[in-house]
């Protein structure tokens, strides 16, 4: 028997997506602050401590649950949207940057998904949003996400977002996928996550791809993004500073600016 609220959904858009959640009477969806886009009349908003999955655990339990969310870079609070009308109502949430919204049916995925810290968007009420500590020292220090990742547990629908295109892969037992550490969005609980040194002095010093790979060993499902938000932010920042163009300040840099329409 399912313990989380059962919700229906539709995802709209291609690069800047939003997800419309259809709520039956008395159904609730939990969402990150700032993700709300629009809703029908008859839906009530309520700000809650934590993710709303431990409402009977007392104040201390709620505080600990909210503190875990703070460790993963999320807000102490979440917003609950409950349909108080007699019929179906819709509420829509938008992704914060260009990319894809990934629907995760936790019931079909074994009840637990590990994902990057800032990827959670919304979920059916009852889904627990917690922390996943990396048990291996090397993985925690060099894995791109640090010692702490996000953990989604329950048997309802959850939605995460990622940058650029998202590739979903089914890994067979023993199959290994090497991934840039920042490109991992999520993986199922069966997948073994570790890191591997790139190797080679030229690769290390001049490869430009970092010193470590993330290794994902099957069986299980993994979701990989083509454009991590950190990579996008770094590229935007580099073009907004004086050192944004490698040849900037020289003859080639000036010529490039003129051709780009930036010079006079």
Question: What is residue 20's predicted lDDT score, i.e. its pLDDT?
Answer: 98
CA dist 20 and 38 (Å) reads: 9
The answer to whether residue 264 scores a pLDDT higher than 50 is no
pTM of the model: 0.79
Strand partners, 89: 23
Using 50, 70 and 90 to split pLDDT, how confident is the model at 169? very high
Higher pLDDT, 65 or 149: 149
Report helix, strand and coil shares of the chain as percent, to nearest 5: 20, 40, 40
What's the pLDDT at 150?
Answer: 87
Which among 52, 73, 74, 47 has a CA at the least distance from the CA of 62? 52
Does position 236 have pLDDT exceeding 90, yes or no?
no
- Average pLDDT over the chain reads 80
| pLDDT tens string 129-158 | 888 765 554 444 444 444 478 899 999 999
Q: Taking 50 as the threshold, does the pLDDT of residue 33 lie above it? A: yes
How many residues make up the chain in this entry? 264
Taking CB atoms within 8 Å and a gap of at least 24, the contacts of 65-73 are: 65/128, 65/130, 68/130, 68/131, 69/129, 69/130, 69/131, 71/131, 71/148, 72/117, 72/118, 72/129, 72/130, 72/131, 72/148, 72/149, 72/150, 73/117, 73/118
Most confident of 75-89, 126-140, 249-263: 75-89
Among residues 64, 36, 34, 37, the alpha carbon closest in space to that of 49 is found at 64
Q: Which residues, at least 6 apart from 123, have a Cβ–Cβ distance to it below 8 Å?
A: 29, 30, 31, 51, 129, 152, 154, 156, 157, 158, 159
- For residue 252, pLDDT over 50 is answered with no
Q: Examine the pLDDT at 247 and tell me if it is beyond 50.
A: no
Convert the pLDDT of each residue in 46-63 to its tens digit: 998 766 665 555 556 556
d(C-alpha 148, C-alpha 72), whole Å: 7
Bond before 189 cis per omega within 30 degrees: no
| Structure confidence by residue, pLDDT tens digits, 88-132 | 999 999 998 899 999 999 999 999 999 988 899 999 999 988 887
Backbone angles phi, psi at 61, to 5 degrees: -65, -40
| Domains observed in the chain | 8-240 (3.60.160.10)
Rounding to the nearest 10 degrees, give the CA dihedral for residues 261, 16, 226, 10. Answer: -170
What was the pLDDT predicted at 223?
97
User: What local confidence, expressed as pLDDT, does residue 255 receive?
Assistant: 45
């Amino acid at each position: 028997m399912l313990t989380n609220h059962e919700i229906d959904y539709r995802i709209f858009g291609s690069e800047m997506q939003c997800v419309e959640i259809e709520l039956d009477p008395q159904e609730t969806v939990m969402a990150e602050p700032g993700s709300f886009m629009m809703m029908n009349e008859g839906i009530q908003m309520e700000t809650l401590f934590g993710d709303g999955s431990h409402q009977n655990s007392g104040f201390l339990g709620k505080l600990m649950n909210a503190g875990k969310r703070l460790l993963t870079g999320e807000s102490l609070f979440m917003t609950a949207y409950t349909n108080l009308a007699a019929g179906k109502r819709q509420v829509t949430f938008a992704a914060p940057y260009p990319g894809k919204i990934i629907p995760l049916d936790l019931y079909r995925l074994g009840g637990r998904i590990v994902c990057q810290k800032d990827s959670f968007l919304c979920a059916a009420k009852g889904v627990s949003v917690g922390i996943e500590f990396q048990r291996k020292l090397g993985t925690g220090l060099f894995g791109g996400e640090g010692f702490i990742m996000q953990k989604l547990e329950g048997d309802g629908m959850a939605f995460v977002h990622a940058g650029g295109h998202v590739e979903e892969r089914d890994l067979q037992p023993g199959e290994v996928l090497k991934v840039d550490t920042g490109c991992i969005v999520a993986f199922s609980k069966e997948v073994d996550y570790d890191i591997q040194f790139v190797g080679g002095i030229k690769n290390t010093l001049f490869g430009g791809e970092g010193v470590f790979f993330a290794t994902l060993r099957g069986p299980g499902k993994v979701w990989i993004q083509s454009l991590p938000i950190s990579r996008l932010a770094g590229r935007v920042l580099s073009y907004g500073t004086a050192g944004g163009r490698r040849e900037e300040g020289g003859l080639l840099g000036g010529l490039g600016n003129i051709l780009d329409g930036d010079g006079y």
